[in-house]
Structure 1
């Protein structure tokens, strides 16, 4: 059974507060397009970026991007939107002292990648004239983006670093919730539940920067310890199915949690109410810092 429901905000915040995830590694669009600057006639009149006045140099991590803009988050949590185009020079350094630079295409600008950006002022907006990065950082970001098994250790280190540098990653907008239900004492997914999970993954995949938070619940049958373990088992079963059968990437999944009997959807005094409470909620979330970019 699948439905979009109003979430108990207190329970969701409790679940997310301690369960930060690789938000650095949000979904990306990688189409190449010429930059368009908000319809500003003055900006459009500048064909060559070398003609534009110099802007500030920006350093930080790419925390979001679309086809013509980057959001760069600095160490202090401040965010800057910077445009880029085919004129933007993208360089990666490698080796001792950053020697051996090579030119890159715009599809190398991955979320979670530390960059140094030289900008120019085009109308009211900043546009990158040059973006510099390190080759080893690009390899790590690529591993995270591709979700490769051999990059697991580096992925973990990189996402932990990004977590500590993006201050509001635990503040989310909830885009929807799908509930899948279970039989008493069981953690086995039904055919309908499996179909609902893949439909939810497909819905979330169509949203920019979406993550999934999976929370398991039980009814009031059984004691607390048993229900806590059962709620965690149900959540883990859902996560495994979404990743293995619905194509959802691990780096876009917040750590699952079990909430035992907490936050019941209905009264546990009736069989119908208990059936509604034996569930796993799959929440589609977008960080407020990235929503709408």
Structure 2
């Protein structure tokens, strides 16, 4: 998305940092969300409810990343590291009818993830997905024996939901996943298909990887905590923002679309045979 260019500063403004970043300016709102567009000296931050705000950033903007034990450590960054897909908290000042970023706070772990998504090679992606690819050969062989997806009956579906930009499971999500696995264990020849999704916030590349990470997290939990055998899974996948179940123009709709769908499948040939 192209953003408008910043208005040129007057000579007085250009020569006096205090007029732009000092106490003479009125405090603006605190904006918390995800960077969804970046051009030159401006970023667009979209909140969880879908509101987009354009904010000016330049050498006067302080950028801090927190990390380490309990998030107590912090380090200074520069504005060049503010990229699409990065969750941020921005303290602003009002300036010429717009907003200037006084300070941008972010998490080091989020920066690492966004950087990986932006510039990773296929090898780096493979390293992050190793946990869901270990059993691909067995899953593909099983799928070959049992046919294509339209040759399955769906015997149960559970959706688990995620916060914006996140892929960690809630306690409720963990319980629902294991409950589904227990249900599937009672069915002969049942397989599980895991599909991850996102809402419409963020660009396509970011959402593709985010949906895959959500699917991967669910697969890991199924196998490591719920005792589901790896060979009884079809290849998991991420679908980004495809197949929304609700309207992405509302916060409620976005929350419903940030999901992983876990499906119990049984071969039609097995049931009919």
TM-score band, normalised by the shorter chain? Answer: 0.3 to 0.5
Using CA pairs below 8 Å that are at least 6 residues apart, which structure has the higher relative contact order? Answer: 1
TM-score for the superposition, normalised by structure 1 = 0.44
User: Given the two structures, how large is their TM-score scaled by the length of structure 2?
Assistant: 0.48
